[in-house]
């Protein structure tokens, strides 16, 4: 009897864990993408070269391969393509294409958030540079207010800029527009506080599990995260309410929902954005290490339309876990990532993408690899996370 086929429109390192989970469920895996040497393609039964953000190309592959199921990759465009294909072919496990656009496009999500009363920073979206600058001029008038500019359709911090004066706004607006395929941007007030992210698992639009982590430095290109995260129980109470508002408003199918958010000095949660795809930076392994849940398997199960009503209740975060993203300070030739002796004993897992001699072409976004650690105390973990350069050295020779 022929094995069933699952299509995962990606093949990068984070997608490798989804491929392994799909294999455990007995699927043959088909991948796509434009990075021919991505590790996921080598693990799959078949690789088809195509742009995973091209929804019609993804539909053609799915039709040609007679797939039985589809699971999104760790990228917004891949997730959106997945919902498009599944809607066209009548495959289960996903929201509608329009719902996916509402969640994943920052301007549409902001409009939804205002409508249903989510705790968001406010702000507006723009398709015109002049209109954006006029709005910024009014908001900066005499008050020194910090603002954030970002493309409506980017991820991993691309095109996001924080500004503190109107004089900085022109370049920041241009950067945001340059990073947007749709040529639309969002402008919103900057919220002082700690940066976090969280994932819930929805069953019948209720959150039956919630995982919260913290990024010790409030930045938009995440280089580390820790679990547990501050007053996680108080945070969870607020978050679950926000997640379930979205689930009810959009009638979301069972499965994962993720958010990035700020906790201000008063402990209030401010939602920045949400998504339903697999998160990057080996986040699924981070969840697994911190909870014992086979997070990738639950993602695959839900996106294949399998019954997930038996998702285990009452699972909590345990231990002091951290992931570190090895990134360079400049372009050049990668040589090594050196870990301080005081931290080495606590390395739980290491996934290094770069080898000595590989070229770093875009140091702002290229990841040499990721390292997961489990510490004996929260204090030690937090000290390491706050002083990464003292414990990790990414050595790159200028080329």
How high is the mean pLDDT of the chain? 91
Please give the CATH topology (third level) of the domain spanning 122-189: Dna Ligase; domain 1 (3.30.1490)
All structural domains of the chain with their residue ranges: 5-91, 122-189, 194-397
* 108 confidence band (pLDDT: 50, 70, 90): very high
Note the pLDDT of residue 157: 65
- pLDDT tens digits, 228-285: 876 777 899 999 999 999 999 999 999 999 999 999 999 999 999 999 998 888 889 9
- Cα–Cα dist 249/274, whole Å: 14
Mean pLDDT confidence for 322-347? 95
- pLDDT tens digits, 124-136: 889 999 999 998 8
Contact 343/388 with Cβ under 8 angstroms?
no
- pLDDT tens digits, 85-102: 999 999 999 999 999 999
Note the pLDDT of residue 136: 87
Cis peptide before 23 (omega within 30 of 0): no
* 219 confidence band (pLDDT: 50, 70, 90): low
Burial tier of 145 (Cβ tally within 10 Å: 0-12, 13-18, 19+)? middle
* 141 confidence band (pLDDT: 50, 70, 90): low
Q: Do domains 5-91 and 194-397 have the same CATH topology?
A: no
Note the pLDDT of residue 161: 86
DSSP 325-367: EE--SSSEEEEEEEE-TTTGGGEEEEEE---TT-EES-TTT--
Q: Return the CATH architecture of domain 5-91.
A: 3-Layer(aba) Sandwich (3.40)
Note the pLDDT of residue 217: 64
Contact 163/145 with Cβ under 8 angstroms?
no
- Cα–Cα dist 203/207, whole Å: 7
Given a cut of 60, is residue 221 above it in pLDDT? no
Note the pLDDT of residue 156: 61
- 194-397 is a CATH 3.30.470.20 domain: yes
Report the percent of the chain where pLDDT is more than 90: 71
Note the pLDDT of residue 155: 67
Note the pLDDT of residue 395: 96
* 137 confidence band (pLDDT: 50, 70, 90): confident
pTM, two decimals, is: 0.90
- pLDDT tens digits, 22-73: 999 999 999 999 989 888 999 999 999 999 999 999 999 999 999 999 999 9
E runs forming strands in the chain: 5-8, 28-33, 46-49, 69-70, 124-126, 147-151, 161-163, 185-189, 194-203, 206-215, 224-227, 255-263, 269-275, 320-326, 332-339, 347-352, 359-360, 369-375, 392-397
Mean pLDDT confidence for 350-363? 92
Mean pLDDT confidence for 208-233? 79
Note the pLDDT of residue 270: 95
Report the percent of the chain where pLDDT is more than 70: 96
Mean pLDDT confidence for 74-86? 93
Note the pLDDT of residue 165: 85
Given a cut of 70, is residue 153 above it in pLDDT? yes
Given a cut of 60, is residue 142 above it in pLDDT? no
Structure tokens at 373: 């650690």
E runs forming strands in 204-278: 206-215, 224-227, 255-263, 269-275
- Cα–Cα dist 213/380, whole Å: 16
Note the pLDDT of residue 162: 87
Mean pLDDT confidence for 306-325? 94
Mean pLDDT confidence for 205-210? 97
Note the pLDDT of residue 167: 86
Burial tier of 10 (Cβ tally within 10 Å: 0-12, 13-18, 19+)? buried
């Amino acid at each position: 009897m022929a094995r069933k086929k699952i299509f995962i429109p990606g093949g990068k390192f984070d997608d490798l864990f989804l491929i392994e989970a799909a294999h455990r469920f007995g699927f043959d895996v088909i991948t796509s993408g434009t990075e021919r040497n991505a590790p996921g393609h080598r693990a799959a039964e078949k690789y088809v070269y195509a742009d995973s953000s091209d929804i019609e190309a993804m539909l053609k592959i799915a039709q040609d391969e007679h797939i039985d199921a589809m699971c999104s990759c760790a990228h917004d465009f891949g997730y959106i393509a997945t919902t498009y294909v599944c809607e066209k072919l009548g495959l289960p496990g996903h929201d509608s294409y329009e719902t996916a656009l509402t969640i994943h496009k920052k301007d549409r999500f902001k409009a939804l958030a205002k409508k249903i009363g989510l705790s968001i920073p406010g702000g507006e979206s723009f398709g015109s540079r002049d209109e954006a600058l006029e709005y910024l001029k009014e908001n900066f008038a005499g008050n020194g207010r910090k603002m954030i500019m970002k493309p409506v359709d980017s991820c991993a911090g691309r095109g996001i800029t924080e500004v503190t004066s109107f004089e900085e706004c022109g370049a920041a607006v241009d950067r945001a527009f340059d990073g947007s395929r749709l040529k639309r941007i969002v402008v919103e007030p900057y919220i002082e506080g700690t940066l976090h992210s969280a994932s819930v698992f929805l069953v019948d639009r209720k959150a039956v599990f919630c995982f919260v982590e913290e990024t010790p430095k409030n930045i938009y290109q995440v280089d580390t995260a820790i679990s547990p995260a501050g007053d996680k129980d108080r945070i969870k109470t607020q978050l679950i309410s926000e997640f379930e508002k979205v689930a009810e408003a959009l009638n979301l199918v069972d499965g994962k929902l993720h958010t990035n958010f700020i906790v201000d000095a008063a402990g209030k949660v401010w939602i920045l954005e949400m998504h339903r795809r697999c998160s990057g930076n080996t986040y699924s392994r981070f969840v697994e290490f911190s909870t014992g849940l086979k997070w990738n398997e639950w993602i695959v199960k839900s996106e294949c339309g399998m019954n997930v009503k038996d998702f285990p209740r009452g699972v909590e975060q345990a231990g002091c876990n951290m992931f570190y993203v090895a990134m360079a300070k400049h372009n050049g030739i990668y040589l090594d990532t050196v870990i301080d002796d005081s931290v080495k004993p606590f390395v739980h897992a290491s996934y290094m993408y770069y080898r000595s001699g590989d070229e770093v072409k875009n140091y702002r976004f290229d990841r040499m690899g990721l390292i997961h650690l489990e510490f004996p105390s929260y204090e030690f973990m937090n000290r390491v996370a706050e002083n990464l350069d003292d414990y990790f050295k990414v050595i790159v020779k200028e080329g």
